[in-house]
Structure 1
Amino acid sequence: MIESNNAEHTPSHIVAIGASAGGLEALESLFDALPDELGCAYVVVQHLSPDFKSMMDELLKKHTNMPTHQATEGETLVANTVYLIPAGKLMRVTDGKIYLSELPPDNRINLPINEFFRTLAEDSQNKAVGIILSGTGSDGCRSIQAMKEAGAMVIAQDPEESQFNGMPQNAINTGSVDFVLKVADMPKYIKNFISHPLTATTTDKFKFHLSQNTGLLEQILKLIQKQTDLDFKAYKESTVSRRIEHRMSINNKLSLQEYWEYLQENEKEIELVKQDLLIGVTQFFRDKELWDKVKEEVVKPLVLESTPKDPIRVWCTGCSTGEEAYTIAMLFDSTIKELGLERQIKVFASDIDQTAVAYAAIGVYPTGISNEVPSKYLSNYFHTLSDGNYQVTKELRSLVVLATHNVIQDPPFSNMDLVSCRNTLIYLQTPAQQKALAFFHFALKKNGYMVLGSAESPGNFSNYFHTIDSKLRIYQKTQDLRIPVSSITTQGIRRGGYEPKTIPQYIERINKRTIKPRNRLVGIKSLQDRYIPPTFIIDTKLELVYSYGDTSYFTTKLKPGEVTKDVADILIPELTSHVLSAAHQVIREDKGVLMESVATETDDNGKITSYGLNCFTFTEDDEVEKYIAISFVEENHTSRVSADVVYTPEEQTEQRILELDSSLVECQRMYREALEDLDTTSEELQSSNEELMAANEELQSTNEELQSVNEELYTVNSEYQQKIVELTETNNDLENLLTATELAVLFLDSELRIRRYTRPLTNFLNIMDFDLNRPFMDLSLKFDFDGLHDLIKQVNEGAGPIHKVLETKDSLQIEISISPYTIGKNNNGVVVSMREVK
């Protein structure tokens, strides 16, 4: 373990760098451009195969003068030093020290970047920088939101520059990235951020600065409201100041006045600071202990106490990108299935952030959720997309209704069994918190449940709730008294420009859009041949097209809300079954139907009028579409009506019951068969889906690791190739040197086999090219010297160099030098040279 207690070596900031496939080149470029004396500690987190010894430290040392090594357990981070994640480990940081852990033993996908970035956000707050470089998948994008929340700076490599753009693009898609940059430009932004007074010091200078500039701060909030229709005056001052402080440090603005001027000139920055103010850190099953408790103490009781006809209603407010809402929906749906009951569940999820609500509506989440969502929920409620991301199933999506909603400004939902509002109230001032809690109390049924964040409580309204778990913040409504909210004054977080439409205005708008002029004339020709009693014209979908006469007696009063065109929703209840039965028969048989005495009306004078129902079809001359006329004819005029079939209500009812009984029996049979087939298919699909998801995650993780290994091997291979080139050049130089000197030289290995020789040696020795690797003893000299073999053996065994001058029979003098062939300090053969002395 490496330790450093020298305060001078404590890093000012920690720069965490996440990289995967294609990341080696980006890392080399980054460290080529980074100064060596910024005072930061650099931690590189990669996807590494546990079966491969990484050479990343050796590779990066060629691109930086900073000490570079693999991190060790308990190591204190030191300034101007590069730390690398060891293969087969997860890494986290606490109190400026590195801690390592083994990879999880199960088949969960390995996401080391998420793990380290998450702990860095908790440990270093705004003294951190997170960088996402090239890589496939989405590792890192679940934790950069936490880094952004903590005030750190987040940078992503430009996807167009990265070899693999999956990781940078997924990070950008979260909306939590401050800058998208080319690698060469990153050091400049890092230097600006770490040297900014707001991140370089731990004093409260900025808060003091704000207290002297409250007017300027209000102007900034008004400017944000003007462009975004959101007023943040109800936010706590500390929250607002922290967010603006972050934006100032990111943009290198040294005063609030300078930032105010920058905002006025930059509309995009207004949107970014708004997003900073709205940022929500969320995940599936966040705080596992809480959701285990909620399932036992809230979900199961609600499921058991409810009935199939009464849907369980949940309001998840401040839902952000939907993780918590889908978590609640999964808990209820799985519990209903576990208990084998038939229940309905509807989760109303709301948030003020339209972008977050739109994201939740799509329901696509990165690969990293596989470490958040238990496997049984992941396989049942998500399917894997081609890019490795997950999307909620249609079944789960249908349980959640998403809406943009202001929790302290808009009217609350009602008749809720559960309200969940976690980590939203903590950002609001006390009056806004009280109003929101009053709305939650109003929204809940008696004995309904409320779940708050770990730092939130009912406060002054505690008497209205029973505490189920004070630690986990689970409460139950006990008093059905309405909490007065008129006296609670709140400002802010208000969407501008909202004008509720009146019902008449809405109806007029619907009519203008749906009723075409030509449809107003539909059936007039046929009606002229008869008469115009109170009449509805509907299409074959049983939707209202037009009406004639005074139909008010036969219709219900219009209810507030969305206008329907379904004729069944317009008629009074006692007429609905008669009208629908007659309409279905007319459509099916194309025969006119008269039904006697379906309704009676008593006027102000006590006169009773009885009505029959006349129903028939017709078409326009130039149209194929069929229309149905439904007329209510006074009983004394029914004799004038021509109809193919005449019923009394009782006869019609009996006939309809017989038809419905027959249809019901057939539907039940078909339903049972379909259910059996569906169960079988569902079991097979679920089993296959679980296997495929596990295999896909393993393959993706392995692919990431192999890609990193491949990059390192490619780099090492390139170095070997370069060394081979250098070796070839050296060998050529040696060959040319020996040729130029015309020396007769023989190289023998340690076994005294021939390794190499020069051409002039053929003047002294009977040797040819095919003699390479043959023992020297097999060759013969062209002159007499019986002791040569023994001398060569002596030198090979360590006797040292030997020099001899021999005289041949022809009176030629030959100088022989025998020297050891050394590699380092070891003998590895013999070098023999010969030359004629003249």
Structure 2
Amino acid sequence: MSEDDDAGLGALLDFIKESRGFDFTGYKRSSLQRRVERRMQEVGVATFGEYLDRLQVDQDEFTQLFNTILINVTGFFRDPEAWRELQNEILPKLLAPKTRGEPIRVWSAGCASGEEAYGLAILLAEAVGPEEFRRRVKVYATDVDEDALATARQATYTDKELQAVPEEWRERYFERHGSRATFRGDLRHSLIFGRNDLVQDAPIGRLDLLVCRNTLMYLNAETQAQVLRRFHFALGPTGALFLGKAEMLLSHSRLFLPVDLKRRFFRKADQADPASRFAHADGRRDGPGSAGDDRLEDETLLVSPLATIVVNADEVVEKANQRAEAQLGVSTREIGRRFTDLDLCQRITGLRASFEDVRRHRTSLWQHDAEFSRSATETLYFDIQVAPLEPDESGRVAVAIFFSDVTRYRRMTGELQAAHRQVETAYEELQSTVEELETTNEELQSTVEELETTNEELQSTVEELETTNEELQSTNDELQSMNDELRQRGTQLDEANDFLESVMGSLRTAVVVVDTELIVRAWNGRADDLWGLRSEETVGQHLLNLDIGLPTERLRPLVRQALGGDGPPEQPLRVEAINRRGRHVQLSVSASPLTLRHRGPTGAIVLMDQVDGHGNGRAGTPGSDTDGREPPP
């Protein structure tokens, strides 16, 4: 963003804050700029200054701008795996310590159009029963978008919006009203919807569960920290925090600790006995082999300071943690490849042989000071432990490989040896050696800080991508609505064409429709019967160039008069012609202007009716010249 654009966007945000009370300065600038520029393109404004002028004179434009910035993309039970975890694991452990009749308080922050809040109500009603739900549960649902809150208060949704809700829950918790379904009124009273700005307004306190999914990712790091401090204050001592899939809180460990990092469940970090909150309902804590331990193992592996690779019994890479990617280049792309095919096995001498020995003999092996050239200018050294895991049913073993980075210690060992040699030769150089060691330590600390900064940048990038995804989903919904409308209009057009063809075909008078250039646009079945030319042969041809037994030159003045906007003459034109059977017939020909609403003539309608010798019209059946019979020769 240029300096002028940044200044223009800042002035626009200040005006919105002063005039409407919306403070968007804590939102990520890149995402905010995209959303504002999108609205500017829709109204045809090129600069932020011009758009600010428009907002000052057009108060209704604020509503459209807020609807564009506040992306209300939501749905029932988004990320189903996380919601199943909430139902089966988190809620039972939160509710178990509560005494009978003790209130249950839940906050859905950033609830948009309400699907998330009603989904929480369904899970709580399933957990405690409808009667207890009405007496004990309060679900507070908040957002900054008043239009979205108005939709949420109606509690009415279409079948498409309820697709993610299981059929039995739809029947139990929703009442059908025509093509829409409404959440049960007796349970609806336990949900309280209101406006709350997470950046400016006070939080709701004494919460058992706080759900804020895919909202923090729109805020910059400073504002996120401010909001998370409020969340920390809002949660009760045993409360849980449920975030979106792009929000990890790795840099806020002093406030929250992960309960299930993969599915984004957290608890307050200042618990005296954190494990007691997540004990079983019967008083037992998760023991070895439980699902809790499995998740804990996955999370421990993920954040372990040792680079770790797990290879399954089929010699395929099963897991690799973040440290393995940072130090060894084994990223998620390598998951599913054979371990021996990795570039790592070629670049560390003896690693493949150690791996094969462990699989064969099922005993751990150590490989010390293994050299790994990460780049042309950087070499790392590792102490590698290759350890077998429990064999499967067929007797094959999986293998875990741990890489302990000893580069720093190897470097320090060399420096210490050099220092000892310098001490032996000159005691005066000892102070210089100590200073070098201190410099080395400072460089290592700087490297650690740079890695932490890089991690923050990567987290910000993930949040940006999730924001972009939700913007694309919002655009896709708009395109789907436009497509449905176009399909409906196409159906109406087909029905109108079928109706017109039916009317034209049922007329017993020959009808020819021409445009202002006398090009035939319509030709009905009676004209086909009279002249022997089908519609496919005439449409698109010049009327006066048709090879039929009609003196077309006599029609030119009549048609030109109709194209001039005059009505049909008082007396139709009588002409003698030769029909498709070569017989002479008398025709009564008239022409009327074809006009569209609010426009002049766009063509003419020519009517040709066969008459008898006395001037009477003859409505013969198709294929005959008289009343259904051929005249005698």
With normalisation by structure 2, the TM-score equals 0.46
Q: Which has the higher contact order (CA 8 A, sep 6+)?
A: 1
The higher radius of gyration belongs to: 1
With normalisation by structure 1, the TM-score equals 0.35
